[in-house]
Amino acid sequence: MKKIFFICAAIAVIMSTYSCTKLDVPVESQYVKSNFPVTDADYTALLGTIYSNLSSSYAVPYWRMQDMSTDEAILPARDGNFDDGGQYRQLHYHTWTFDHPNVIGVWQWGFGGINTCNRIISVINNSPSSATKKASSTAEVKAMRALYLYFMMDLYGNVPIITDFPVTTQPTNQPRAKVYEFIESELKSVLPLLPAKSSNGPTNVAQYGRPTKGMVFALLAKMYLNSGVYTGTTRYQETVAMCDSVQANTNYFLDAKYRDIFLPTNGAQVNETIFAVPYDQQIPGNQFTRFGFFYYLAQAYGFNVGLSIAMSTTPEFYNRFNIPGDDRTKTWLAGPQYYPDGNGGFTNQPVYYPAPNAIKQINIIPTLTLTGLKPMDLGNDVTTSQSEGVRSIKYYPDVNIIQATRLNSNDVPVFRLADIYLMKAEAILRGAAPTTINGDAQTPLTLVNKLRSRAHAELATSIDLDGLLDERARELSWEAWRRNDLIRYGLFEKEYPLPVMGGKTDDLKMNTDPTRRLYPIPSTELKTNPNLKQNPGY
């Protein structure tokens, strides 16, 4: 997957070497409709733009809309720094408008990806390659188109269904339930043509970051779990069936170390990954270290680049990480800071603030105390306000980032087996019948304890829906599912408690209107397409 960009570039160079004045060049020496795509390399280059588009915005703008609109992540100002026109506090307080930069940008990203899929399908339809190759490649593209459309349906609700290329008429909104039905139909139709995950090896590397049967099952499970939100009809037993379909492939299993799933070196060797977005220094889009790390720890971790001090989590979200022995708690920077040991742990050597505070050990506290002087602003004192807010190092800091780009190499999971366990547990708690997989009688409690056992956390003795939501917070933090979870639980518009902000006020209030469960249709789209209708509440 990480070579797709270079293949695309190589083909572009090849195509540009032929002079426009030499009109009698043999057709077989150029890439034209009659001979492209044919080979596997042709198809890899052709499909590459689907994945480069996906990675471009998944880990920053899309992630922000899903997690920074919840208690899971917050990017407060610090004496006016990092306010960026108020876009982050608008996400936190649910006061975004139809011209919010993420509202506009993510719509264009999602439907740009859909348009790319439609264009590629039209190219494949005119290809001279075999019917089998065309069918399997079209299935891959349609699966990715369904994923893009799912993202758009989840965020914006009543969105257009676009399958033509080029688009000759301006599309109209479709009811969310109809979009849901279309995605479901598309996924079921391509399922027989997609590969199943093989054991780790060359075949799995080729599949990594691309649709498989497992990805389709996982996406359908996510849709069925949220079916009550999307269509008004619950489908919990079908959620269980899709989760079981993932587990039926024994090549998916929990990795021994929770930390390994998210390291900069992660990739196809991670056994529980069902679908991930690959990143490295040539694939832009992942800047978790830049935005979420603590600047004054840079030298201790081996960085020589400028990093932010801004993004953190809220106190009430961090309070869920309270289980004795839980490795997942170690994915946060909190309390007195020590030099890392290079293996995901820490030495006993303290890290100190820079001069003139070099005698003080860095101490990161959960509290976020507003100054009241500027909106959602903590102030900018090095040893106090800058040190407020627990930081995430779940996507473990990548010391190979460079100043010019500050890009992470951590691949970001979209679907993984742990989520399958938790979705199945929730569906059973909501009324579905438990099932047995490979002789393993799975109940909500046993499924949760599989994850706790892997994390060396104290095992649960019972589990209910509220407890399961907390377990999802611990297991899936910063994986872009928190908004989805809170909406399903009816908690998305619940106002953040005052202690989250240190008990102070800056006259900002959270918009608790349930219409905020959907983002607005962007202003740019309404201006250019009069057939679109705005979502209620905007």
Q: Return the HEC string of 150-212.
A: HHHHHHHCCCCCCCCCCCCCCCCCCCHHHHHHHHHHHHHHHHHHCCCCCCCCHHHHHHCCCCC
Query: Which segment, 73-87, 236-250, 296-310, is predicted with the most confidence on average?
Result: 236-250
Which fold does the domain 33-193+513-537 belong to in CATH? 1.25.40
Two structure tokens written together for 471:
């377990």
pLDDT at 6 over 90: no
Q: Please give the pLDDT value at position 94.
A: 97
Domain boundaries, the chain: 33-193+513-537, 200-277+408-476, 288-389
Q: What angle do helix axes 101-125 and 131-156 make, rounded to 10 degrees?
A: 160
Residue 394 · residue 262 · CB < 8 Å: yes
Over residues 46-72, the mean pLDDT reads: 97
pLDDT at residue 202, rounded to an integer: 62
Which helix or strand (DSSP H or E) is residue 65 part of?
A: helix 63-67
What single-letter DSSP state applies at residue 415? E
Cis peptide before 37 (omega within 30 of 0): yes
Give per-residue pLDDT as tens, 326-337. 999 999 999 999
* Main-chain dihedrals φ then ψ at residue 416, nearest 5 degrees: -145, 165
**Per-residue pLDDT, 341:** 86
Neighbouring residues of 404: CB distance < 8 A, sequence distance ≥ 6: none
DSSP secondary structure of 98-117: TT-HHHHHHHHHHHHHHHHH
- Whether 33-193+513-537 and 200-277+408-476 share one fold: the answer is yes
The helix/strand/coil state of 247 is helix
- pLDDT value at residue 196: 96
Neighbours of 198 (CB within 10 A): 15
**Is 200-277+408-476 in CATH node 3.40.50.2000?**
no
- Whether residue 167 is predicted with pLDDT greater than 50 in this model: the reply is yes
Longest Cα pair distance anywhere in the chain, in angstroms? Answer: 77
What's the pLDDT tens digit per position in 283-320? 889 989 888 899 899 889 988 888 887 899 999 999 99
Distance of alpha carbon 345 from alpha carbon 338, whole angstroms: 9
Q: How many CA atoms lie within 13 A of 363 on its CB side?
A: 9
Q: What is the mean pLDDT of residues 418-432?
A: 98
Instruction: Read off the DSSP letter of residue 529.
Output: -
Q: Provide the pLDDT for residue 203.
A: 67
pLDDT for the residue numbered 399: 84
Q: What percent of the chain has a predicted confidence (pLDDT) above 90?
A: 76
Q: Which residue has the higher pLDDT, 504 or 174?
A: 174
> How many other CB atoms are there within 10 angstroms of residue 105's CB atom?
19
DSSP structure class, residue 476: H
What pLDDT is stored for residue 499 in this prediction?
A: 52
Q: Which of 75-79, 186-190, 268-272, 308-312 has the lowest mean pLDDT?
A: 308-312
What confidence score (pLDDT) does residue 496 get?
A: 82
Q: Which of 78, 73, 88 is nearest to 392 (CA)?
A: 73
Alpha-carbon span 170 to 23, nearest angstrom: 38
Under the banding of pLDDT at 50, 70 and 90, the label for residue 364 is very high
Three-state SS at 263: coil
Higher pLDDT, 346 or 515: 515
Using one digit for the tens of pLDDT, what is the confidence trace for 201-223? 666 788 999 999 999 999 999 99
- pLDDT for position 456: 98
What is the reported pLDDT for 32? 58
333 has which bridge partners?
Answer: 391
Query: How long is the chain?
Result: 538
Q: What is the DSSP letter of 433?
A: P
Residue type, 402: I
- Is the pLDDT assigned to residue 171 strictly greater than 70? yes
Distance CA 180, CA 238 (A): 15
Check residue 40 and give its pLDDT: 84
Instruction: Determine how many CB atoms are found less than 10 A away from the CB of residue 169.
Output: 7
User: What was the pLDDT predicted at 10?
Assistant: 40
**Alpha-carbon span 73 to 285, nearest angstrom:** 18
Q: What is the reported pLDDT for 281? A: 84
Under a CB-based contact definition with an 8 Å cutoff, are residues 450 and 425 in contact?
no
Phi and psi at 494, nearest 5°, equal -70, 130
Contacts 24+ apart (CB under 8 A), 84-92: 86/375, 88/64, 88/376, 89/375, 89/376, 89/508, 91/64, 91/65, 92/68, 92/376, 92/496, 92/510
Mean pLDDT, range 450-458, rounded to an integer: 98
pLDDT > 70 in the chain, percent? 91
Residues 103, 93 contacting (CB under 8 angstroms)? no
pLDDT digits over 466-522, tens only?
A: 999 999 999 999 999 999 999 999 999 998 876 566 667 677 889 999 999 999 999
Q: Given a cut of 50, is residue 23 above it in pLDDT?
A: no
pLDDT score of 462 more than 90: yes
Q: Mean pLDDT across the chain, nearest whole number?
A: 91
3-state helix, strand, coil in the chain (%, to 5): 45, 10, 45
pLDDT at 304: 82
